[in-house]
């Protein structure tokens, strides 16, 4: 006799994905039914229970215990090359997790690896939601995958609002605009700019802020002074080496993050230039690196630690509202930035 279609599995035990497919619902809905959560229509609950019975699905006891408890299980996915940025982010997440009674899981999400398999594994381990800092907050395929799975996520620093997920950000455009005006106010006209990772929306916003501030001041942007970086120290070093080797180098360089600005300072020192007497260099983020290198960086303070805490707060509210059958719309939180002036900027030499 032929077995029912739903029982013909090549290998392994039935999974949440199998149940969701048979019941024609999301994996998060299956998780709610398994763990006795609210907010599931009666016909959907019956379909899930029927699929569980037909497949012989048995949820992992440890995962079920975690999911059913009041404690939240949150995953922080990361794929950021800046150790300084990640350090601030992680401290903020850990502080908020302790305060909110959340279990924080930290996982590296390499774009070159099979993301779908990793996300599937995490969802099946009864994860409640995800935190996505840059550059993952701009990964369209990843966001689509999480939305299709019906799971919760909050994006940190994407540069713009997102229809299906909560967002915590600063005004990258205005922050870069303010820094450029500050450099212009010192008397600089010939200013170099190093762009961040082209896959991140914040990079384009910071570049736009720079260009518009230059245009408003009537200062020309020499395209030879605008170089592509990747938000890494090495990319900032390489870009600055090229810029400073030009026949007419700039009197100031604005790098899109502190790691690249640190690379610029190293390139200036290699050429025997004094920062800031010979060359003004400014960064963005105000990570710990900004105040540990010499000279200390003038930079935009992005409240990374506070952004992480706020993101986990939003995610916890969304998850707990969902458990109480009180669905909330994704929320947007825009935090304040600050221009921090230190020792790496000065008027141009005459």
pLDDT at 37: 60
The CATH number of domain 172-302, selected from 3.20.20.70, 3.30.1330.10, 3.40.50.2300, 3.40.50.1390: 3.40.50.2300
* pLDDT on residue 49: 86
Q: How far apart are CA 8 and CA 10, in angstroms?
A: 7
Superfamily of 5-59 according to CATH: lambda repressor-like DNA-binding domains (1.10.260.40)
Instruction: Give CA–CA dist 234/192, Å, rounded.
Output: 17
> Each residue of 153-197: pLDDT tens digit?
999 999 888 888 999 999 999 999 999 999 999 999 999 999 999
CA atoms within 13 A on the CB side of 274: 6
Closest alpha carbon to 35 in 62, 13, 17: 62
Which residue is it, tokens 């950000």?
Answer: 169
Task: Give the Cα separation of 286 and 162 in Å (integer).
Answer: 26
Residues lower than pLDDT 70 in the chain: 1-12, 32, 35-39, 59-70, 111-112, 324-329
What DSSP designation does 4 have? P
Dihedral pair phi/psi, residue 200, rounded to 5°: -105, 130
Closest CA relative to residue 267, chosen from 308, 220, 235, 314: 235
Give span(s): CATH 3.40.50.2300, the chain: 72-169+304-336, 172-302
Task: Encode burial over 282-299: b for 16+ CB neighbours within 10 A, e otherwise.
Answer: bbbbbbebbeebeeebbb
Pinpoint the alpha helices (H) of the chain. 16-23, 27-34, 42-55, 61-68, 83-100, 115-124, 140-149, 172-185, 201-216, 233-244, 258-270, 304-323
Give residue 62's pLDDT: 46
Q: Specify the pLDDT at position 38.
A: 56
Helix (H) or strand (E) run with residue 349 in it? none
| Segments of the chain assigned to CATH 1.10.260.40 | 5-59
* 23 C-beta neighbours (distance < 10 Å), count: 22
3-state secondary structure at position 151: coil
What's the CATH class of domain 72-169+304-336?
alpha beta
**DSSP for residue 225:** G
The tens digit of pLDDT for each residue in 124-149 reads 887 899 999 999 999 998 999 898 88
CB 295 within 8 A of CB 275: yes
């Amino acid at each position: 006799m032929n077995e029912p279609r739903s029982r013909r599995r090549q290998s392994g035990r039935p999974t949440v994905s199998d149940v969701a497919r048979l019941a024609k619902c999301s994996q998060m809905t299956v998780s709610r039914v398994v763990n006795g959560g609210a907010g599931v229509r009666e016909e959907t609950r019956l379909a899930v229970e029927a699929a569980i019975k037909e497949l012989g699905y048995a949820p992992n006891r440890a995962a079920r215990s975690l999911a059913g408890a009041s404690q939240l299980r949150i995953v922080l996915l990361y794929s950021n090359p800046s150790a300084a940025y990640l350090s601030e982010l992680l401290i903020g997440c850990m502080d908020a997790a302790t305060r909110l009674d959340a279990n924080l899981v930290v996982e590296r999400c390499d774009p070159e690896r099979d993301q779908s398999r990793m996300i599937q594994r995490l969802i099946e381990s009864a994860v409640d939601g995800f935190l996505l800092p840059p550059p993952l907050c701009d990964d369209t395929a990843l966001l689509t995958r999480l939305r299709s799975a019906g799971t919760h996520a909050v994006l940190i620093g994407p540069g713009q609002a997102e229809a299906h997920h909560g967002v915590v950000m600063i005004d990258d455009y205005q922050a870069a605009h303010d820094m450029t005006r500050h450099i212009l106010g010192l008397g600089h006209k010939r200013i170099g700019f190093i762009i961040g990772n082209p896959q991140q929306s914040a990079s384009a916003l910071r570049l736009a802020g720079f260009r518009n501030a230059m245009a408003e001041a009537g200062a020309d942007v020499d395209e030879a002074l605008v170089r592509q970086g990747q938000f890494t120290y090495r990319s900032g070093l390489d870009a600055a080496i090229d810029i400073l080797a030009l026949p007419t180098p700039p009197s100031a360089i604005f790098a899109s993050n502190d790691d690249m600005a640190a690379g610029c300072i190293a390139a200036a020192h290699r050429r025997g230039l004094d920062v800031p007497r010979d060359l003004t260099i400014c960064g963005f983020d105000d990570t710990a690196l900004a105040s540990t290198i010499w000279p200390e960086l003038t930079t935009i303070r992005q409240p990374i630690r506070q952004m992480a805490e706020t993101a986990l707060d939003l995610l916890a509210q969304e998850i707990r509202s969902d458990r109480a059958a009180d669905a909330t719309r994704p929320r947007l939180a825009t935090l304040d930035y600050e221009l921090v002036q230190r020792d790496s900027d000065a008027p141009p030499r005459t």
